[in-house]
Structure 1
Amino acid sequence: MGRLVPAVTRSLDILELFLEGDGTLSAPDITRKLQLPRTTVHELVTTLAARNYLVPLPDQPGRYRLGVRTYQLGSRYEEQLDLAAEGKDVARQVAETCDETVHVAILEDMDVIYIAKVDSTHAVRMVSAAGRRLPAHCTSVGKMLLAALPAEELDIRIEEEGELAALTHNSITDPDALRAALAEIRERGVATEHRESNPDVSCVAAPVRDSAGRIVAALSISVPMIRWSEEREDELSELAGKGAADLSVRLGYRGGTR
């Protein structure tokens, strides 16, 4: 690894400060937060402003906000994002931690489509594949994504779907029961599925958000019942939440919802 350039590091430290609070700072604020000499901060801020990475606030002399160049860089980064590729990378990290099968899925109508999957190394594991489609109401990822829909849109989709298919004896087939389950998921922030899509598997899932705070995918961990327990469920719910949060950050999420 090459030597880090102090001036570049300090410039990036300054820019990253603007991700906090109300997004505006003065040179004294930066000096205090980073414990840098005033002259150094003045020179770096002047340079960043000259290159449009920072812009002075016209109604608050001496204060700055992020400039248009940071927006242009962020927009170009977002254009190059690949949810499936990023999802696969995060799923791999989660799977390495828990050694269970990890999926990332998106919602289409009343189905989920798995866009990334990383297998467990155990001999007994869930059999599935990226690209597979399943009824959303029978899966933890699907219920997580359905729970994110506005009530009116959810009602329309349920009505258009007609009869809710059953994949196992545990599948939810009553629309009112599904609505109640989704309300609980919204309350908890995590979805679970106990032998609803596969009689031998339980799953937990957490939401993945994009840069605007919209839930665009979900990440799940699937476990054969021989390795499932309430304690394991709590552990994997936390891990799924961390994995989903990591993927959300990669998609540009910085807090706040829509």
Structure 2
Amino acid sequence: MGRRVPAVSRALDILELFLEGDGSLSAPEITRRLQLPRTTVHELVTTLAARSYLTPVPEQPGRYRLGVRTYQLGSRYAEELDLAAEGRQVARAVAETCGETVHVAVLEGLDVIYIAKVDSTHAVRMVSAAGRRLPAHCTAVGKMLLASLDPAELAARLAGRSGLPAMTAHSISTVEALRAELATVRSEGTAGEQRESNPDVSCVAAPVRDRGGQVVAALSISVPMIRWSEERRAELRELALRGAAELSGRLGHRG
């Protein structure tokens, strides 16, 4: 590995300060927060501004905010993102941590489509595959995605329905019950299902957001009932949240 260049690291430290706070900083504030010499900060800020990575705030002399070049770089990064590829990488890391099957899914109509899957390391595992489509209301990822819809959009998708197809005896089968479940999901921030899509499997799921904060996917951890317990559910819920946050960060979300 090559040597790190201190000046470049300091310039990046300055840019990363703008990920927090009110969006603008002065040179004295940067000096204080990074504990750098004033001359060094002045030179770095001047250089970053000259390259349009920072720009002066017109109505606030001496203050700077992120410049157009950072937006161009971020937009270029977003164009190159592949949700499925990023999802597989995060799912692999989550699966290595817990030893269970991890999925990433997106919503299409009232179905979910699994775009990434990493298998459990245990001998007993669930049978599924990337590309598979399931009714959203029978899955933890689907509930998470449905709960994240705008109320008007959810109503439009459910319009004209009273009953819902069941995959097991434990599946939600009415719109009324689904709406009650989705209210719980919104309140808790995660979703779960117990034997609703597979009589031998339970799952927990968390939302994946893009850089605009919109929920674009969900990440779930699936566990055979022989390894399921309330204690295990709580552990996996936190892990799903961390994994979803990691994937969201890769998509540009700052939450």
Give the letter for the 1:186 counterpart: R
| Shift of residue 15, structure 1, vs aligned partner | 0.2
| Shift of residue 119, structure 1, vs aligned partner | 0.1
- Write the mapping of 1:99-118 to structure 2, written as runs, cut at 5 A: 99-118=99-118
CA contact (8 A) 2:161 2:175 kept: no
Deviations 1:114-172 (CA, angstroms, capped at 9, x unpaired): 00000001110110000000000000000000000122211221125563100000000
Distance 1:7 1:103 in 2: 41
Correspondence for 1:8: 8
Distance 1:230 1:248 in 2: 27
- Cα-Cα RMSD: 0.8
Change (3 A) 1:250 1:160: farther
Q: Secondary structure at the match of 1:4?
A: coil
Q: Secondary structure at the match of 1:117?
A: strand
Correspondence for 1:229: 229
Give the letter for the 1:249 counterpart: G
Q: Secondary structure at the match of 1:205?
A: strand
Distance 1:93 1:140 in 2: 20
| Shift of residue 43, structure 1, vs aligned partner | 0.3
Distance 2:2 2:73 in 1: 24
- Write the mapping of 1:176-191 to structure 2, written as runs, cut at 5 A: 176-191=176-191
Q: Secondary structure at the match of 1:237?
A: helix
Distance 1:161 1:29 in 2: 58
Distance 1:176 1:250 in 2: 36
Correspondence for 2:120: 120
Distance 2:158 2:225 in 1: 29
CA contact (8 A) 1:27 1:42 kept: yes
Give the letter for the 1:54 counterpart: L
CA contact (8 A) 2:27 2:62 kept: yes
Correspondence for 1:27: 27
Structure 2: stretches of 5+ with no match in the other structure: none
Q: Kindly, what percent of the aligned residue pairs are identical? A: 76
Structure 1: stretches of 5+ with no match in the other structure: none
Correspondence for 1:202: 202
Correspondence for 2:96: 96
Deviations 1:29-67 (CA, angstroms, capped at 9, x unpaired): 000000000000000000000000000011100000000
* Stretch deviating more after TM superposition (157-166 or 24-33): 157-166
CA contact (8 A) 1:209 1:253 kept: yes
Deviations 1:50-99 (CA, angstroms, capped at 9, x unpaired): 00000001110000000000000000000000000000000000000000
Correspondence for 1:214: 214
Distance 1:220 1:230 in 2: 16
Give the letter for the 2:111 counterpart: D
CA contact (8 A) 1:104 1:115 kept: yes
CA contact (8 A) 2:106 2:114 kept: yes
CA contact (8 A) 1:110 1:161 kept: no
Q: Secondary structure at the match of 1:75?
A: helix
| Shift of residue 240, structure 1, vs aligned partner | 0.2
- Write the mapping of 1:29-178 to structure 2, written as runs, cut at 5 A: 29-159=29-159, 163-178=163-178
Change (3 A) 1:90 1:160: farther
Distance 1:151 1:33 in 2: 43
Deviations 1:190-249 (CA, angstroms, capped at 9, x unpaired): 000000000000000000000000000000000000000000000000000000000000
